[in-house]
Structure 1
Amino acid sequence: MAKARSPMLNDEPVDPDIDLHIPAQRQEARQNQRPVIAVVAVGGAVGACARYGASLAWPTPPSAFPWTTLTVNAVGCAVIGVFMVVITDVWAAHRLVRPFFGTGVLGGFTTFSTYATDIRRLVDRGEARTGLAYLVLTLVVAIAAVWAASVLTRRIVQWRQR
């Protein structure tokens, strides 16, 4: 069975239960997305402000290794690991909690665009090896943080349920 396609959305796949040729269903699809977009935007602003606060509290001099960015990304990834276990295994969250906190707050808090800029800055300063090490270290730390936090959270939840 082929997925429904929308001529209005550049031929991107859409919900197969919605026929976008029917104006009422097209309007319903738009209305259902408005709250999600709003909470992601608000959450993103909150997360970006928290990240900015971290950069003010622990500024990184231009010639130094970007420890603040690495730490912010590691903490954000660990929090997403905890959050995903909590909302999938423990708590039946409202449908807007995940987009608000997971996509919005944590998406705004973690800063992979600054990470890319930091790598570029290191390479431009002639520190290509450090830039490569930072590139790999951040990816490893981010993945390890999500994994470790989710495993630890799941164990704590199981322990508390006994």
Structure 2
Amino acid sequence: MRTLLLVFLGGGLGSSLRYVVSHLTMRSWNYGGFPMGTFLVNMLGCLLFGMLSSYLLKEQNDLRLLLLVGFCGGFTTFSTFSYESLQLWQNSQFSILILYLVLSILLGVAMVVAGSRIYEILSVDN
């Protein structure tokens, strides 16, 4: 029951923050139909996941459940990414679709690596 509660709390916080960040991003940055809100949320989530996972996968189980499984799982959104990709396809916006897919995957992986490296750099000082 404790595990479920930790994932639930983290997921609720992550989902709420995802909504706020995505909403504010889409209001501020409109790039010809490019789903900037979801893209930004997923890139930030990947960076955060890389930073947190470097420490939490080796250590504290409760924090791992709360932050990685719950918060990052709620904050990033593969289902929205997939839906927006389908909409771009259906609207024949193929160049934006390809850009969105390639950038999301390549930069997503790069952000996880960057987050892991940031953790390594910050942990050297401790």
Bucket of the pairwise TM-score, normalised by the shorter protein: 0.7 to 0.9
Number of matched pairs:
124
> Structure 1 CA distance, aligned partners of 2:25 and 2:117?
29
> d(CA) in 2 for partners of 1:152 and 1:45?
26
| Counterpart position of 1:143 | 109
- Cα-to-partner distance string for 1:72-104 (whole Å, 9 max, x where unaligned): 101011011111223357xx42x2110111010
Aligned with 1:126: secondary structure? coil
Q: Secondary structure at the match of 2:34?
A: coil
One-letter code aligned to 1:114: T
Q: Distance in 1 between matches of 2:42 and 2:57?
A: 22
The runs of at least 4 consecutive aligned structure 1 residues that moved more than 4 Å come to: none
Higher RCO (CA < 8 A, seq sep 6+): 2
Q: TM-score, normalised by structure 2?
A: 0.87
Residue segments in structure 2 that go unaligned for 5+ positions in a row? none
Q: Which of 4, 15, 37 is 1:68 aligned to?
A: 37
2: CA distance, partners of 1:96 / 1:157: 20
Secondary structure, aligned partner of 2:97: helix
Tell me the secondary structure at the aligned position of residue 26 of structure 2. coil
Does residue 1:105 correspond to 2:71, yes or no? yes
Contact 2:23 2:37 (8 Å CA) reproduced: no
Higher helix share: 2
- Unaligned stretches of 5+ residues in structure 1: 1-33
Amino acid at match of 1:111: T
The alignment's TM-score, normalised by the length of structure 1, stands at: 0.69
CA RMSD in angstroms, aligned pairs only: 2.0
Identity %: 28
Give the corresponding residue for 1:58: 25
